[in-house]
Structure 1
Amino acid sequence: MAKKQLIMEKALELFAKQGFEATSVQQITDHCGISKGAFYLSFKSKDELIVALIDHFMRQFTADIDFVVSDKNEEDLLYNFYYTAFQSFSKHSDFAKLLMKEPAQSFNEELFSKLHNYNKSLEKVILSMIERLYGDLSKDLKYDLSFCIKGFMSTYSELYLLYKTPIDMDLLSQSLVEKTNLLAKNMTITFIPDELIEIIDQPLIEDTSSEKIVEVIEKNIEDMEDSIEKESLILLKQELLEPALHPAIVKGLLSNIQHHPHCKWAAYLLRKHFEIK
């Protein structure tokens, strides 16, 4: 296991028990069995480590949801959306629990900005899904419906995060599909005002330029051993710098990296850049 990954996993164990503020760098290094010097070779500070953990969780979650919405046909789109969301909550339950219980004052401006950007990314994915599913039916109510869907995700995720009873993910997803369809077909009153829609529709405050994507890819390449995913990343980086490949080849390279845990965010950014559906 790479040292950076070890630090993130061991730090998460301590954060889950004690919270961000109560956990010191010394406690993290003791728990990892490494020196402070080794810690600071990977992270400049505890705040940078926390940002890395939030990035990891939110990038995985956002990329998984976006891939499902982009890849699935309308027939099972909503079911797969909910199933993937709750599967991700379950997979990353320790960190999700930590975010739920951590007091807001623990988050600095950078963390708030990142969480805001990820939330806006998720909103855009949900709005895209609503438009695909309901067409003109959703024209005036899609923003209200998107908030309802996010509410379902947040509320029902508590079943995974606060209770230890087994959850039938298939039944839960089917139930929420039914509820969402009922809302979409029967809502008549718009609540979200035009002024708020203008704010929601503003572009993300995030650098998604080719240079930034290359930076993300290079970091992934550096952290990976030789594999088909690594070779695919190298080719995709070259395509960003000097476009030459047929779109079908680019799509194939993206499919090679899509499910690798270290490459999901790179795949998400590349799909947006190359406009791959």
Structure 2
Amino acid sequence: MVKKQLIMEKALELFAKQGFEATSIKQITDYCGISKGAFYLSFKSKDELILTLIDYFMIQIISDIDYIVKNTNTNDNLLYGFYYTIFHTFQKHSDFAKILIKEQSHTLNEELIGKMHSYDQLIESLILSMIERLYGDVVREIKYDLMYCVKSFMSIYSKLLLFQDTPLDLKQLSMSLVEKTMILAKHTTISFLSGELIQIMKQPSHDRFTKEQIIELMEQKITEMEDSIEKESLILLKQHVLESNLNPAIVKGLLENIRHHPHCKWIAYLLRNH
């Protein structure tokens, strides 16, 4: 196991038991069986480790949602696929999801708050594009209100899913929320949120990647990965970003090759939006 990955996995176990603040670097290194020097070769500080874990978790969610929204061919399945993907990802990464929900409520770490706000804006953008695709002009006046309703469903039911010992049926939950969302879309007539108000509320996002930044990230991941079809696909995609030498069908196939790999999900998301 790569040392950086070992530190992340072991630290996550400690954070789940004790929280971010109560867990020291010494506890993490002792639990991993490594020296502090080895820790600092992978992470400059505990805060950097926490932010790396947040990046990893949020990348799983956003890249999966992005794929569903942009690759579901029929509108009939889109909303169900969206909700099911959200809750399945939360369930799959439940340990860290629980920590993040608890820590967010009382953190004063400005970098963490800013990072979560940037990811929140990405999620809002995906929800809005899904709503516009599904309902078009029918919801033109209330689309921002509907977006916040969908976000509220995600938040409330994720907490129910994570903090209840009783197993919940994700299919039934997703179908239930599809019905609720459709009722709101069809019958809501009074809007509160306007496009102008949304723009005022927004903060600048720090996750706008340039072509050069994407290439740099791809090179870093290529160096870290072992030989595999995902690595070969990433090399070809990097060449395409530089030269535009592949046709769309091949690019789509290469993106499909990498989108499930934990090192490549964010790159697949960035390339789909490049």
TM class, shorter-length: over 0.9
Instruction: Provide the C-alpha distance between the structure 1 equivalents of 2:184 and 2:105, rounded to a whole number of angstroms.
Output: 32
Q: Give the distance between the partners of 2:33 and 2:212, measured in 1 at CA.
A: 36
Decide whether aligned partners of structure 1 residues 238 and 200 sit closer, same or farther in structure 2, where only a CA change above 3 A counts: farther
Give the counterpart letter for 1:52 in structure 2.
Answer: T
Match of 1:131 in 2: 132
Distance in 2 of aligned mates of 1:79 and 1:13? 32
Q: 5 Å matches for 1:3-152?
A: 3-72=3-72, 73-102=74-103, 104=105, 106-152=107-153
Task: State the Cα distance separating 1:272 from its structure 2 match.
Answer: 0.4
- Any unmatched runs of 5+ in structure 2? none
Gaps of 5+ in 1: none
For residue 235 of structure 2, what is the aligned residue in structure 1? 234
Per-residue displacement from partner, 1:153-209 (whole Å, max 9, x unpaired)? 100111221111111011000000000000000000101144322236776332410
The aligned counterpart of 1:184 is 185
Instruction: For residues 113-147 of structure 1, give each alpha carbon's deviation from its aligned partner in whole angstroms, at most 9, with x where no partner exists.
Output: 21111000000000000001001111111100000
Q: How does 1:166-245 map to 2 (within 5 A)?
A: 166-199=167-200, 204-245=205-246
Partner-residue secondary structure (3-state), 1:102: helix
Q: Quick one: structure 1 residues 103 and 62, their matched pair in 2 at CA, closer, same or farther if it must change by over 3 Å?
A: closer
- RMSD across aligned C-alpha pairs, in angstroms? 1.5
Equivalent-residue separation in structure 1 for 2:47 and 2:83 (angstroms): 32
Structure 1-normalised TM-score? 0.95
Which residue identity is paired with 2:17?
A: K
Instruction: Answer yes or no: is the 8 Å Cα contact 2:57–2:93 preserved in 1.
Output: yes
**Distance 1:239-1:107 versus aligned 2 partners, 3 A rule:** farther
Number of paired residues?
A: 273
In structure 2, C-alpha distance between the alignment counterparts of 1:91 and 1:148, rounded to whole Å: 24
